């Protein structure tokens, strides 16, 4: 009985210590200057309308450090195309008001955004389909005054890879609604996230 009481007291002490550590950590985070906190951009969503195999809601993170703000109202039925060349570090083929999917790497995010804008894109999504992970990347400027006049966002590679495969080998054109405005939708009409993304 005495051993049980001692164990119970130790357990309570350990629990209290863990709670204090947790509260202390939260307090430290709350006291940080906003400039010290890592920023991954504003969370936004877009919806693939077609094809049905990709018809899900995708989360992206915008970067106003390298591009313009996203519009408030959803832009519907916009074709999505793959950049050519894929990394968009040099002039890419015309995009004629489409959303363009660009691969990460080989040059700065700012350069890619500028190339997309010069090619006539309405929006640019940058991804890392080679890695194919669900990691988020903070898209920052390259230290120059370069900034695109179109909205730019980062799409995790796990979804970027699937979209890229369809753009390269699929028959049906991809069309999207971007950004998705949840406030104007019924709960029952909100499309689900893709099953391959972590929740």
pLDDT digits (tens, 9 = 90+) for 156-193: 999 999 999 999 999 899 999 999 865 545 445 566 88
In a domain, 195, yes or no: no
CA distance linking residue 175 with residue 4, whole number of Å: 65
- Binned at pLDDT 50, 70 and 90, residue 15 comes out as very low
pLDDT above 90 coverage of the chain, percent? 54
DSSP 65: T
- Phi then psi for 134, rounded to 5 degrees? -100, 20
> According to the model, what pLDDT value does residue 141 have?
75
For residue 63 the two structure tokens come to 């970067």
143 vs 38, higher pLDDT:
143
Q: Is the pLDDT of residue 29 over 50?
A: no
Please check whether residues 77 and 59 belong to one and the same domain. yes
Same domain for 14 and 76: no
DSSP 145-196: S---SSBEEEE-HHHHHHHHHHHHH-SSPEEEEES--GGGS-GGGPPPPPTT
Reported as a single tens digit per residue, the pLDDT across 66-88 is 899 999 899 999 999 999 999 99
User: Could you give the number of structural domains in the chain?
Assistant: 2
Tokens encoding 1 = 């009985």
60 lies in the same domain as 136: yes
Q: Are residues 17 and 79 in the same domain?
A: no
Q: Does residue 63 share a domain with residue 47?
A: yes
Residue 74 CA: distances (Å) to CA of 6, 45, 94, 183:
62, 10, 23, 11
Q: Is residue 62 part of a domain?
A: yes
The β-bridge partners of 80 are 99, 174
What is the pLDDT averaged over residues 94-106? 94
What pLDDT is recorded for position 13? Answer: 39
CATH of the domain at 76: 3.50.30.30
Count other C-beta atoms under 10 Å from residue 77's C-beta.
9
Q: Is residue 199, in this structure, part of any structural domain at all?
A: no
Vertex 127 angle, CA 124 and 132, to 5°: 160
Same-domain check for residues 24 and 47: no
Q: What is the pLDDT of residue 1?
A: 53
Assess whether 95 and 110 both reside in one domain: yes
pLDDT for residue 138 = 82
For residue 168, being part of any structural domain is answered with yes
Q: Burial letters for 142-155: b for 16+ Cβ neighbours within 10 Å, e otherwise?
A: eeeeebbebbbbbb
CA dist 58 to 23, 77, 112, 136, Å? 34, 15, 21, 13
Show the domain range for 149.
43-189
**Is the same domain home to 162 and 101?**
yes
Residue 103 is predicted with a pLDDT of 97
178 assigned to some structural domain: yes
Q: Is pLDDT above 50 for 60?
A: yes
198 inside domain: no
């Amino acid at each position: 009985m005495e051993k049980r009481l001692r164990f119970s007291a130790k357990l309570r002490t350990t629990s209290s210590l863990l709670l204090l550590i947790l509260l202390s950590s939260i307090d430290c985070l709350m006291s940080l200057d906003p400039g010290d906190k890592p920023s991954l951009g504003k969370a936004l969503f877009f919806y693939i309308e077609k094809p049905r195999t990709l018809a899900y809601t995708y989360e992206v993170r915008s970067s106003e450090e390298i591009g313009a703000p996203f519009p408030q109202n959803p832009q519907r039925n916009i074709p999505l195309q793959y950049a050519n060349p894929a990394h968009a570090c040099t002039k890419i083929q015309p995009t004629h008001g489409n959303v363009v999917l660009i691969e990460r790497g080989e040059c700065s995010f700012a350069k890619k955004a500028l190339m997309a804008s010069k090619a006539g894109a309405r929006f640019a999504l940058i991804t890392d389909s080679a890695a194919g992970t669900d990691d988020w990347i903070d898209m920052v400027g390259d230290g120059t005054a370069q900034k695109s006049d179109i909205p730019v966002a980062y799409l995790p590679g796990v979804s970027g890879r699937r979209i890229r495969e369809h753009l390269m080998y699929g028959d049906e054109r991809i069309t999207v609604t971007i950004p998705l405005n949840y406030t104007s939708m019924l709960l029952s009409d909100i499309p689900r996230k893709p099953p391959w993304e972590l929740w």
